[in-house]
Amino acid sequence: MEHEHGLHLRPAADFVRLAAKYQSVVKVANLTRGGDREASARSLLEITALGINQGHTIRLRATGEDAEAAVQALADLIRSNFGAGGQ
């Protein structure tokens, strides 16, 4: 995660909105903090509870019809530093 403040409310909200556009079930884990807990990519509360900060490594895992597209779109959002909405 490269966003200066990690996955705080604004970028997390962008992440959740994008995840909700897909049929697949997408899960996120914070590997830097052990990765033992997964959060729904559609839950702002669960995502922020993972405590993802700048420099942390996360895992995206999806199951369903459009799983590959969902993971790719979310990874692209992260790589783009969440665009203007995450600033």
> Is 70 within 8 Å of 22 (Cβ atoms)?
yes
Active site residue 8: yes
DSSP-based three-state secondary structure for 87: coil
Catalytic residue among 3, 5, 8, 56: 8
How would you write 14-38 as a 3-class SS string? HHHHHHCCCCCEEEEEEHHHCCCCE
Residues annotated catalytic, as ranges = 8
